[in-house]
Amino acid sequence: MQVRLRFFASLRERLGTGMVRSLRQGTTAGEAWEALARETPALRAMRVRFAVNEHYVDPGHRLADGDELAVFPPVSGGSP
Amino acid sequence: MIAVVREPIDPGGLLDAVGDPRAGAAVLFLGTTRSRNAGRTVERLEYEAFETMAVKEMRRLAAQARRRWPVSRVAMVHRAGVVPVGEASVAIAVSAGHRAEAFEAARWLIDRLKEIVPIWKKEHYRGGAVWIGPQQGGPVALPGRALAGAAGEARGAGAAVGNEGVAGRRRTARARPGR
């Protein structure tokens, strides 16, 4: 399946604004991110949140063909 | 009025947007960019927004506030791009029948906005720049979306016109160790 990835803030500076990826059916948001982190190990330590089609999701959210997965650091004001 | 804008925010426009003859109170909060943060001189701030999602999240917050308090109207505007020091980067206006709910809803809205609306701040200093907020630590679960607790949670509702203040300093302090 094809998923469009988008990156923001510090992640955009490292990875660009986005890319289209072919992923195995049933891949989760977290797994898609781990696959990227395997290619760019510096990403592994980064704190990220996921949004699919502009809605926040947990890392365990399963992606579907045509989804847009946005990955970004917690919002600037993301404090308790 | 819910928007991400690239021009200076006109506070009067927000107050007009929440105008309602049934309302006895209108509260306006302005978050302004500080010249000093964590002991460093900030030359300018830059905000990056996931604009379409940010607008959706702000609309959702406004709807939640209206369910939670007897609020008449809500306006929320956030800047994107470079914001010179001293200008408003975010503004929230709330009108309601009485002041208590207008203050409480405005306080709650700015706190929630800073937790979940996807807009990021980068501070530029002489000789460097830093993204504000925790950047290290791996994937995290979704931010709390439940309506937390009772209306009384919005304490200290006196900040009608304020500054991004203490919360910003805390965030920066936390952002440091990972660098």
Q: Which residues of chain B are at the A interface, by a Cβ-Cβ cutoff of 8 Å?
A: 48, 50, 52-53, 56, 113-122, 131-143, 145, 167, 170-171, 174, 178
Does the CA dihedral B1-B2-B6-B12 come out positive or negative? positive
Q: For B152-171, what is the mean pLDDT?
A: 36
Q: Is the pLDDT of residue B176 over 90?
A: no
Print pLDDT tens along chain A (80 aa).
Answer: 999 999 999 999 999 999 999 999 999 999 999 999 999 888 888 889 999 999 999 999 999 999 999 999 988 653 33
- CB contact (8 A) between residue A58 and residue B142: yes
Distance CA B114, CA B170 (A): 13
Residues in chain A: 80
User: Residue B117 in contact with residue A30, Cβ under 8 Å?
Assistant: no
Distance CA B147, CA B105 (A): 12
Distance CA B95, CA B73 (A): 5
Pairing of strands A68-72, B25-32: unpaired
Q: What's the pTM value of the predicted model, to 2 decimals?
A: 0.81
- The tens digit of pLDDT for each residue in A60-76 reads 999 999 999 999 998 86
**Burial of residue A34 (number of CB atoms within 10 Å: 0-12, 13-18, 19+):** middle
User: Residue A70 in contact with residue A38, Cβ under 8 Å?
Assistant: no
Q: For B134-142, what is the mean pLDDT?
A: 63
